[in-house]
Structures are given as structure tokens and as C-alpha cells.
Amino acid sequence: MSSFGLRAGRTLAAALLLASLGAATAADAAERTLRIGFQKYGTLILLKGKGSLEEKLKPLGVTVKWSEFQFGPPLLEAVNAGAIDFGTTGEAPPIFAQAASPKLTYVAYDPPSPKAEAILVPKGSALQSVADLKGKNIAVAKGSNSHYLLVKALEKAGVSYGDVKLSFLTPADARSAFESGKVDAWSVWDPFFAAAEAAGARVLTTGEGVVENHQFFLSSRDYVKDNEDVLAIVLAELRKVEDWVAKDPKAAAEELSPLVGIPAPLLTTAISRLGLGVGPLKPETIAAQQRIADAFLELKLLPKPIVVQDAVVTIKTAEAAR
């Protein structure tokens, strides 16, 4: 083969290689996926229902995959395991998830919703106050925001944490146990709270004056590092949804109702108790999370100390989303 032919052959091979790499890159871009974990309530499920996020991410070549979780701890286990990229939970689950893995990161939060969770007793219960829970059996989801509510409500009432019996149950199992009389009380969040209240359950205390009850949006450190552009769009779209919910809670409840199988009037009640306005974490919010971590550590429920600040990241355009 002549030197010209050899050079031409090499040029052709290089061009084919570049074309192959270009095709692979395009395929990778087309397959870029944002995996979101959501619970059967809240603004994320409304965002899912609207479909606007998919439209906003399409120019980036990003598709969205949604996975439902019954409550926060298993959702964050999935984040730590790399099974999902983004999700939302209450304030306690991230504490345990951070203790389990340095991968977890807070990317945003919603303002407090202390009235959106409560400790409930059946309608005919003789229990009249949190102090009356001493020696009683209480259903609660372990590591949930309502677990922390129970810890702080007992403390405020002068009841030792060790002086109650806890039944760690998922919300569905806890509701069954509560309605059948297998437990004396139930510490739970909306919309389960609103549904139980409408069915006749009585409130011993909400979180008001006891806990702040923030909602957090979380991701993994690796995902944040490579996908700030995606997360900035997610937060901006969430803000739009939350602004709409704040302006028209009845319409939001009606839209949410078929998605979660809960009557719109109950959801209107629950939505009225939500703190709305997603944005970057503030120093006082981080400090509040640290107090939760320290409380669980003192009760020997947390396996080791954590520094919440270590898990906080700021999405560069998140402030614009606010």
C-alpha cells in the first residue's frame, strides 16, 4: 500500500472511530435519566402529575423515571444505594441516612409545617394528654418525622422515652393497628393524619410548639456533582407548583385526589397545613436538623454522631428558583 493509501486508511479509521464515539455520546445523552423517588402526597407527586418537568428536561436529553415509596427511610436507602437520584422526605430520615452513608446530600427544603403531623388517639380513648401515654403502646414509623415528634412531645410532657412501648409500623400497618385497637396512640403525618382525624381520631398534640417539621429535597453527592443543571430545573419547577398550591389549595387538592386515592376535602385540610416555598437551606434550618441528630444520638437511636452541615450542598441556580 502506498503512503498515501496508508494515510487515507488511517484517516478513514479515525473518522469512523470519532463517528462511533459521537454516536455513543449521543446515545448516552438520550439515555440520561433522572430517577425521582416520591411519596403518595406532597408537591413532588403534583409535579409528576403535571408532566412539566419532563418537558423542561427534554432539551437536555434527560428523561424522568418516577418511583413511589410509602415513607422516607426506604426512599433515602434507595438514594444511598444509587437506585434513585432525587427525592423528598421529612426531617428525621435524612439524619439516619447521613449516618449510614456520606453520599447523601440536602439540596433544598420547604418551610416548617408543624401542624401537619400529630399524635392521635381513638375517638373513645380515655387518654387526654401526652402525659397519659406513659406505659401505653404507640404506633410510629421508625426514623420518620413523626418519630421525632413523639420523642419531643414525650420530653415536653415529662414522660421518659423508655416509659412507652413503641410499635414501629409503616403508615398502612399503623392505621390498621390503630383502628383495630392494637395500639393506644398513633404518631403520624398528613395526609394519614387528616384521614384519621376525619374518621373520628382525636388529637393529643400536633407538632405546633413541639417541632418544626421541615420537608427536605435530597440527592446523592455524585449526582449533584454531575447534574446541577438538572437539579436547578427540578427546583424551579417545584417552586412553580408550590406557588400554585399556595394560591389555589382547593384546585391542588382536586388534582391530587385521583393521584393518591384520598378525597379532595381531606387533602384541602392537609394542604392548608403545608409549609410551601422551596429554596436553599438556611443556617437556622441546618441548626434545627443538628438538634434532631443530637437528640436521636442521645437516645442511642443514631449509631454515631453526624454533622449535618457536611451533607448540605447549594445548587448554583437554586436561589434563582426561589
How does DSSP assign 190-231, residue by residue? TTHHHHHHHTT-EEEEESTTT----EEEEEEHHHHHH-HHHH
- Whether residue 180 contacts residue 257, with contact meaning beta carbons closer than 8 Å, is answered with no
Q: Are residues 90 and 50 in the same domain?
A: yes
pLDDT at 260: 83
Q: Are residues 78 and 89 in the same domain?
A: yes
Q: With respect to residue 26, please indicate whether it lies within any of the assigned structural domains.
A: no
Total tally of structural domains belonging to the chain: 2
Q: With respect to residue 269, please indicate whether it lies within any of the assigned structural domains.
A: yes
206, 233, 250 - which closes a domain: 206
Q: What is the mean pLDDT of residues 146-167?
A: 97
Q: Are residues 219 and 312 in the same domain?
A: yes
pTM: 0.84
Q: Are residues 247 and 123 in the same domain?
A: no
End-to-end CA distance of the chain: 66
Domain of 286, CATH number, reads 3.40.190.10
Mapped onto helix, strand or coil, the DSSP state of residue 250 is helix
Q: Are residues 225 and 107 in the same domain?
A: yes
Percent of residues, the chain, with pLDDT higher than 70:
89
For 87, residues 6+ apart whose C-beta sits below 8 A from its C-beta are: 36, 37, 38, 44, 69, 75, 76, 78, 79, 217, 218, 219
Q: Are residues 220 and 191 in the same domain?
A: no
Q: With respect to residue 12, please indicate whether it lies within any of the assigned structural domains.
A: no
pLDDT at 25: 38
150, 173, 206 - which closes a domain: 206
**Cβ neighbours around 111 below 10 Å, total:** 17
5 vs 86, more confident: 86
Q: Are residues 100 and 198 in the same domain?
A: no
Residue with cell 393518591: 260
| pLDDT above 60 (res 197) | yes
Largest CA distance in the chain: 100
pLDDT at 40: 82
Q: Are residues 219 and 108 in the same domain?
A: yes
pLDDT at 61: 95
- Whether residue 153 contacts residue 203, with contact meaning beta carbons closer than 8 Å, is answered with no
Average pLDDT across the chain, whole number: 89
Q: How confident is the model at residue 317 (pLDDT cuts 50, 70, 90)?
A: low
Q: Are residues 76 and 123 in the same domain?
A: no
Q: Are residues 252 and 197 in the same domain?
A: no
Residues β-bridged to residue 215:
90, 110
**Between the CA atoms of 149, 152, 153 and 157, what dihedral angle is there, to the nearest 10 degrees?**
170
| pLDDT above 70 (res 172) | yes
Q: Are residues 98 and 239 in the same domain?
A: yes
Q: Are residues 73 and 91 in the same domain?
A: yes
The x, y and z cell numbers of residue 184, run together, are: 393506644
59 vs 261, more confident: 59
pLDDT at 161: 96
CA-closest candidate to residue 44, choices 268, 219, 222, 237: 237
- Whether residue 278 contacts residue 322, with contact meaning beta carbons closer than 8 Å, is answered with yes
Q: Where are the alpha helices (DSSP H) in 158-204?
A: 171-179, 192-198
The x, y and z cell numbers of residue 110, run together, are: 420547604
CA-closest candidate to residue 241, choices 46, 36, 58, 55: 46
- Whether residue 130 contacts residue 119, with contact meaning beta carbons closer than 8 Å, is answered with yes
176, 206, 236 - which closes a domain: 206
Q: How confident is the model at residue 13 (pLDDT cuts 50, 70, 90)?
A: very low
Per the structure, the complete domain to which residue 221 belongs is given by 31-113+214-321
Q: With respect to residue 47, please indicate whether it lies within any of the assigned structural domains.
A: yes
Q: What are the pLDDT digits (tens) for 104-115?
A: 999 999 999 999
